[in-house]
Chains A and B, each alone.
Chain A
Amino acid sequence: MGNRMLLLTVLAGGFFMAWAHPSDAKLNVIASTPDLAAIAREVGGDRADVTSLAKGTEDPHFVDPKPSFIRILNQADALIEGGADLEVGWLSPLVLNARNPKIHLGQPGRIVAAEVVRLLEVPTGPIDRSMGDVHPFGNPHFTLDPLNGKLIAERIRERLCVLSAADCPLFTTNAKQVEDKIDSRLALWQKQMAPLRGTKVVTYHRSYSYLAERFGLQVLNTIEPKPGIPPSASHARDLITQMKAEGVKLILMEPNRERKTPAFLAQQTGARVALIPSMVGGSKEAGDYLALFDHIVKTLLMDAGQQLP
């Protein structure tokens, strides 16, 4: 009887250990958003399991810090975050409660994408919250510039190489491939977007500053009077006047935002509303990082009344 109990205990313990520590030594990489996850997936290839905490359709500033995320982060080898306050409202308690020193700040397993990109709209003067939800470190929606995607891929490669030196050649090859793919597709996207260079646009939130800079769109104003503050009637009135005066024919917004105000503005000014996902997974066509831009370029050209060259 005693021996049986011992055997059962050993078997149960073995099963538990196998469950808790799988023998597959792939890196377990967690990304805060799906666009970062998509880049990591390309770099990590089949030597990294990549999971995104936020969904592509979610507002990345307002993700619920679900307890299951604590468990996911507890078993992570690396955490990739956007940084620049993108996840300020939800990520830090998850990391604290995950009890995983590998993903603490300063560790190779903590990858902050904002550290490697040139942030736009960095406030240079005094700021306070009467100015709306301003980001003190700059605009955190930087993955919408494909060249930033390259920089992020390179940072992910560097860190994955530190975490798994044996797989470094693969990560390096994969990163090079991603960067080459971005370069060649960017040339194509630039060519396709050439007719829109200099086009004046209005965006709902400051989500598209990087996209606009890369492709030469001119963002004149936002539907939000201040970052994160809902549109008011007086701001909409001023916007209509400005859009008419400047000949704005395109309004850019994420598919999940309220559409009443943009539709009203469009109706008053004759502009078209372009529904542009701001992250991978934001629409069914934007399945990966390159597909996101394919879809964005196609949508913008279509809504601007242009043909794909």
Chain B
Amino acid sequence: MHTRIYACACVALFVVVFGGSSPAFAKETAGSEIEDLKKQMAVMEEQLRFLRRKVEQLETKPASAVPAASVENADVKTEQRLKDLELQVRQQRAPGRGLLSAFNPKLSLSGLFSAAMFSERDNLNFGGHDPKEQGFNVQNVELHLSGEVDPYFRLDSHLVTFIEKGETKVELEEAYGTSLALPANLQLVAGQYFTRFGRHNRLHPHQWDFADQPVIMNRLFGKDGLRGPGMQLSWLAPTPFYLEFIANAQQAQGEIATSFLSKPGETIRGYSLLDRPVQKIGDLLYMPRVVTSFEPTEELTVAMGGSTLFGPNASGPNNATIIYGGDLYVKWKPVDHVKGFPFVAWQTEYLFRDYEAGPDNVNGIPADRLKDFGLYSQLVYGFYKRWVAGVRIDYVNSSGGGAAAPFLVSRAQRDLAGERWRLSPNLTFSPSEFSKFRLQYNLDFAESRRREAVHGVFLQVEFNIGEHAAHTF
């Protein structure tokens, strides 16, 4: 019965996606534009040559041949026309308007580096792109390529390298196509991408307002955030305000799906994970999300969303995990801002995970329900052009899994359970839109560290080159 429903859903999706992409919506091909441009340039260059000859003729013609005023007028007009044409030709030849570059992907490279000092050798920063080693860190060097594939799709890819414990790592962080012309306000995303759960998970490290990821994101979505290959279909409701519904299905295995099938041999709160591959369509990870936004005043924007994520977990052959999340973002920016300053933005996310764990027959731990929850709330204030001050508070806690506690053998395992809170003030200075310096302090208290303070100080620097990326809200 279930298989039949899934099959019908797949067929319907296929029909909507491929049947609905009418060629009527297709853009004009860039090829013909290039050809037009070439022809236009050839015509203009010919006109230029002609006008130059005219100017030379007028200059060499004896003054008595035509009335002086008439020569002067003709001269001025021809010179003006010449000037206009020269500018037009230069415009066509401007850097970035090269004929070949029209087909090249847009390219940008972002480098994010930091110096970090912690009060303890084993610190509490576990994010893959956090500053987490004493001394200097290469947090994230990201190559972004994007471009239109054809009249129906656009492709974005983010290739990331970073250095962990002296070793260079390379990741295909994201590579996904987005539909351009689906009917009925639908949009399809397919490929490898960050799950659009809440606000923070889909951001790349250089888009973060703080040097490290929030604690709850790390605890529930692992060190790299939740991402994976999959398909997402979203629908923009035709309402007078912004309202979007998202349905998402993604692969549930790999270290980027920490709360789900993850990797065999890993543990979750002391429970060993089995080798449980995806075998049926029900073994995937599913997420419905709804997000809306409105503007109480012309200077204030509110965006909020709710997400639910469910899928199998590998602590047992039939176990499942469900994660709920709510997010809120409020931004104030005056209508007479200069270069986006001043502004105040407040962002909060709450997440709750219900993890059906065990039994772990290897270690003899009975089945249990592991509950993890927490939030982060951050306020950033762009108080002066190029300067932003921020403060973030994190709180996480967990319950259940008492019988597994003796099996939390390593400090790292113990750090991922129990109560923890953290306070992080920071100050960011951006010399331009393409570079950034950030100083951040973390004051961290964890139950696993007997609630003794762990201090961290980071000096982060970011450089961007290439295409001017458009900002998202």
Interface residues of chain A, those whose CB is within 8 Å of chain B, are: 19-20, 55, 57-59, 61-62, 64-68, 70-71, 74-75, 85, 88-93, 96-99, 101, 104-107, 118-120, 122-124, 126-127, 129, 133, 136-138, 228-230, 255-258
Rounded to whole angstroms, the CA-CA distance of A137 and B465 in the bound complex is 18
Distance of A278 from chain B, by nearest CB (Å): 12
Q: Please determine whether B295 and A68 come into contact, CB atoms closer than 8 angstroms.
A: yes
**What separation, in Å, do the CA atoms of A55 and B472 have in the docked complex?**
18
Separation of A88 and B468 alpha carbons in the complex (Å):
7
Please report the total number of B residues contacting A with Cβ < 8 Å.
58
Name A20's closest neighbour in chain B (CB-CB). Answer: B238
Contact A90 B471 (CB under 8 A): yes
CA distance A55 to B333 in the complex (A): 12
B318 in the interface (beta carbon within 8 A): no
Which residues of B are interface residues toward A (Cβ below 8 A)? 25, 27-28, 33, 84, 87-88, 90-91, 93-97, 154, 178, 180-182, 185-187, 236, 238-244, 291-295, 298, 301, 303, 331, 333, 335-340, 385-386, 432-434, 465, 468-473
Do B471 and A122 touch across chains, with their CB atoms under 8 A apart? no
Known: A62-B337, A67-B242, A106-B33. A258 touches B385 (CB 8 A): yes
CA distance in complex: A182, B433 (Å): 37
CB pair A118–B87 under 8 Å, yes or no, is yes
Closest CB of chain B to A56's CB: distance in Å?
A: 9
| Known contacts A62-B337, A97-B187, A137-B96: A68-B468 contact under CB 8 Å | no
Minimal Cβ-Cβ distance residue in A for B93? A124
Whether A88 and B470, one on each chain, are in contact in the complex, defined by CB atoms closer than 8 angstroms, is yes
Q: How far is the CB of B257 from chain A (nearest CB, A)?
A: 26
- The answer to whether A256 and B465 touch across the interface, beta carbons within 8 angstroms, is no
Check B241 against A133 for contact (C-beta < 8 Å): no
Given A65-B472, A99-B185, A229-B432, A137 contacting B238 (CB threshold 8 A): no
Please determine whether B84 and A64 come into contact, CB atoms closer than 8 angstroms. no
The answer on a CB contact under 8 Å between A65 and B473 is yes
Contact A136 B95 (CB under 8 A): yes
Q: Which of B87, B187, B338, B340 contacts A122 (CB 8 A)?
A: B87
> 5 A-B contacts, Cβ less than 8 Å apart?
A67-B303, A68-B301, A85-B468, A99-B236, A126-B95
With A55-B335, A58-B337, A122-B91 as known contacts, state yes or no: A93 contacts B186, CB within 8 Å. Answer: no
Question: What is the bound-complex CA distance between A96 and B180, given in angstroms?
Answer: 7
- Contact between B154 and A96 (Cβ–Cβ < 8 Å)? yes
Knowing A124-B90, A137-B94, the reply to whether A70 touches B242 (Cβ < 8 A) is yes
| Given A59-B340, A99-B236, A229-B432, 20 new contacts (CB under 8 A) | A58-B337, A59-B338, A62-B337, A64-B471, A65-B470, A65-B471, A65-B473, A85-B468, A98-B236, A99-B185, A106-B28, A107-B28, A118-B84, A118-B88, A123-B94, A123-B95, A124-B90, A124-B93, A127-B95, A257-B338
Q: Which of B33, B154, B470 contacts A90 (CB 8 A)?
A: B470
Contact of A64 among B91, B236, B331 (CB under 8 A): B331
Interface hub of B96, B178, B465 (most chain A Cβ within 10 A)? B96
- Residues of chain A within 8 A (CB-CB) of B340 are 59, 62, 64
Contacts of A129 in B (CB 8 A): 432, 434, 465
B107 → chain A closest CB, angstroms: 14
Interface of A is mostly: loop
Q: From residue B346, how far is it (CB to closest CB) to chain A in Å?
A: 15
- Taking a contact as CB atoms under 8 Å apart, the answer to whether A104 and B180 are in contact is yes
Closest residue to B22 on the A side, CB-wise?
A101
Q: Closest B residue to A137 by CB, please name it.
A: B94
The minimal Cβ–Cβ distance linking B404 to chain A, given in whole angstroms, is 42
Point out which of A64, A105, A120 has the most chain B C-beta atoms below 10 A from its C-beta. A64
Most chain B CB atoms below 10 A, which of A91, A99, A105: A99
Q: Which residues of B have CB within 8 Å of A85?
A: 468
How far, in whole Å, are A105 and B96 apart by their CA atoms in the complex? Answer: 17
A61: B residues at CB distance < 8 A:
339
CB <8 Å contact, B241 and A99: no
Residue of A nearest to B178 (CB): A96
| Selected contact of B293 from candidates A68, A89, A98, A136, CB within 8 Å | A68
Distance in Å from the Cβ of B463 to the closest Cβ of chain A?
A: 11
Question: What B residues does A70 contact at CB under 8 A?
Answer: 236, 242
Q: Which 8 A-B pairs have the closest CB atoms?
A: A67-B293, A101-B25, A106-B28, A20-B238, A136-B96, A67-B242, A62-B340, A256-B336
Q: Which residues of B contact A101 (CB under 8 A)?
A: 25, 27, 180-181
Q: Which of A66, A74, A89, A91 has the most CB of B within 10 A?
A: A66
CB-based contact A256/B337 at 8 Å: yes
Known: A59-B338, A118-B84. A137 touches B471 (CB 8 A): no
Instruction: Tell me whether A91 and B470 are in contact in the complex, defined as CB-CB below 8 angstroms, given that A66-B295, A101-B180, A133-B432 are known contacts.
Output: yes
Cβ B178 vs Cβ A64 within 8 A: no
| CA distance in complex: A93, B180 (Å) | 11
**Which residue of chain A has the shortest Cβ distance to B95 in the bound complex?**
A136
Q: Known contacts being A55-B298, A97-B187, A104-B27, is A71 close to B338, with CB within 8 Å? A: no
| Contact A58 B238, beta carbon cutoff 8 Å | no
B182 pairs with A99, CB closer than 8 A: yes
**B95 proximity list for chain A (CB < 8 A):** 123, 126-127, 136
Contact yes or no, B433 A133, CB < 8 A: yes
Q: Do the beta carbons of B241 and A71 come within 8 Å of each other?
A: yes
User: How long is the Cα–Cα vector from A118 to B81 in the complex, in angstroms?
Assistant: 12
B433 to chain A, nearest CB (A): 7
B236 / chain A contacts, CB cutoff of 8 Å: 70-71, 74, 97-99
Contact among A65, A230, A255 for B336, CB-based, below 8 A: A255
Contacts of A91 in B (CB 8 A): 470
Question: What is the minimal beta-carbon distance from A142 to any residue of chain B, in angstroms?
Answer: 12
- Return chain A residues, CB-CB under 8 Å to B238: 19-20, 74-75
Name the residue of chain A whose CB is nearest to the CB of B154: A96
Which of A65, A124, A127 gathers most chain B CB within 10 Å?
A: A124
Complex contacts, B154 vs chain A, CB 8 Å: 96
Bound complex: CA A137 to CA B28 (Å): 22
Chain A contacts of B90 at CB under 8 A? 122, 124
Contact of B470 among A55, A92, A126, A229 (CB under 8 A): A92
Q: Are B339 and A62 interface neighbours, CB within 8 A? A: yes
- Of all chain B residues, the one with the shortest Cβ separation from A71 is B242
A97 vs B472: C-alpha distance in the bound complex, in angstroms?
11
Contact A64 B472, beta carbon cutoff 8 Å: no
A99 touches B91 (CB 8 A): no
Q: Which of A20, A96, A120 has the most CB of B within 10 A?
A: A96
Q: Would you call B96 and A89 a contact (CB within 8 A)?
A: no
Q: Is the CB of A119 within 8 A of B432?
A: no
Q: Which residue of chain B is the closest to A125 with respect to CB atoms?
A: B95
Residues of B within 8 A of A122 (CB): 87, 90-91, 94
CA distance A20 to B97 in the complex (A): 40
Which residues on B sit within 8 Å (CB–CB) of A96? 154, 178, 180
> Is B97 within 8 A of A137, CB to CB?
yes
Asked whether, in the complex, the Cβ of B94 is within 8 Å of the Cβ of A66, the reply is: no
